[in-house]
Structure 1
């Protein structure tokens, strides 16, 4: 096997479409620069909103809250600091300035039929896992295998459903399950010159069960996934890490002294050791 990084994806606005890049820098919180730097929240821009408040009326407008978010298409341009939005099936595209988000907030508020706003933070972004807030990892072979469980879903759609940051090639399906260990331990591994800590298999939400373009629920997606995941779980994986089998992808952390390093497509991946957390 020759594990290597074959894709890097970041999601500038949490829950919207990804941006692929050949090279990326790791920043505050261990995240990829620009990844989940912005989030849509369910209150107007004039209302206070504590960073990372995901409870009650102060929560994110994301796929966990509403399937409407799936029908928004987006294209983010970091060079001009703009985002272009449109909806599935529509040719009408509108570009918005991310510095002054007044027009963007108005477009989204009209779309969701409630007052919403896009917030930004430099302090670690808006990851789903505040403890293991580094890039998420999956292999191409895993995506292919999981797609084979569903006759009407191809690999690209499965990639969009699971929304990983880093994709590994040159390995068999579920190889990334080697990147975590028992409770209270982590697996140290290196991508290029940057060290990571593999923490746990990612617990999935309702998002992968839906068509990423329409938000329509795929019948029996979770039931089929759980059954096949249990059947195909590698023998060397500790089943104690699976209180349920609706888990796929690896959550990571990045040590403080590795932040602000760079990773790039083509970087080799090396497992180093398992250590106590």
Structure 2
């Protein structure tokens, strides 16, 4: 098995970036989901509410995140001086509000009030203690630093769909090839290059899988979530992929070998 592709998501729920290497820091992939969008109540906003966010592209330029907002142009995201408590799922964390211009432009595009917020190094959000006993930290990802998926599982799902979908709908960080479909269900510990990952929780999927990443619209002709529900529904939800934490910093690259060190019997 080896790494087929890698992705980072500089802003939670905006378009991701395919990369050839992931540099890992204490949060996970460096720069991954350190930015997020909030409403006027400082609650997180995603494609679940606003599928058109998929049309907002992101890039990394000279160490800064740049967003390309349709009909509005390009904006550099820079933290300001204002801090506030923000909510992501059940977690309350301190965030730093971003420059106002980008938030106003995105608000115009989406037709609702939005602000960019940044999680700096001094802000601490703990990985879900129900699944990870060690005090690991995470940015604004849903709950864990990594999402690991299996290319063969997508191909098996596509064999059941009238129209094939691509992996971007599942917003993975690490895509692995060379394993059988759904083999990832039993993986517990793996080594990728010189980095060790603990696969700690199956990833339950939501309506974001129904959003076409090329149009920012929910599909009516493709039903990945409904199809998965027919044979991948568990007490933890409709499952595709595995959430993971890392045991150390390091680098993961496309083409790195993948070895499963421990799995369920």
TM-score exceeds 0.5: yes
Count, aligned residues: 227
**Structure 2 matches for 1:142-153, cutoff 5 A?**
142-153=153-164
Among candidates 42, 66, 70, match of residue 50 of structure 2: 66
Q: Distance in 2 between matches of 1:249 and 1:270?
A: 17
Superposition RMSD in Å: 2.2
Deviation at 1:146, TM superposition (A): 1.3
**Structure 2 matches for 1:88-99, cutoff 5 A?**
92=71, 94-99=73-78
Deviation at 1:198, TM superposition (A): 0.7
Among candidates 194, 218, 221, match of residue 220 of structure 2: 218
Q: Does 1:117 align with 2:109?
A: no
Residues 169 and 274 of structure 1, relative CA distance in 2, 3 Å threshold: closer
What TM-score do the two structures reach when normalised by structure 2?
A: 0.78
Query: Which structure has more RCO (C-alpha within 8 Å, separation ≥ 6)?
Result: 1
Deviation at 1:13, TM superposition (A): 0.6
Q: Does 1:4 align with 2:12?
A: no
Residues 34 and 78 of structure 1, relative CA distance in 2, 3 Å threshold: farther
Residues 35 and 82 of structure 1, relative CA distance in 2, 3 Å threshold: closer
| Higher alpha-carbon deviation: 190-199 or 218-227 | 218-227
Deviation at 1:74, TM superposition (A): 0.4
**Structure 2 matches for 1:1-277, cutoff 5 A?**
3-29=1-27, 31-43=28-40, 57-70=41-54, 72-79=55-62, 81-87=64-70, 92=71, 94-99=73-78, 101-122=99-120, 123=124, 124-129=138-143, 133-154=144-165, 156=166, 159-179=167-187, 187-212=188-213, 213-218=215-220, 220-229=223-232, 242-243=234-235, 246-255=238-247, 258=248, 260-273=249-262
Q: Which runs of 5+ in 1 are unaligned?
A: 44-56, 180-186, 231-241
Whether the 8 Å contact between 2:72 and 2:105 is mirrored in structure 1 is: no
Q: Which runs of 5+ in 2 are unaligned?
A: 80-98, 125-137
Describe the SS at the equivalent of 2:46. coil
Q: Distance in 2 between matches of 1:5 and 1:222?
A: 25
Q: Distance in 2 between matches of 1:190 and 1:126?
A: 25
Structure with the higher strand share, 1 or 2: 2
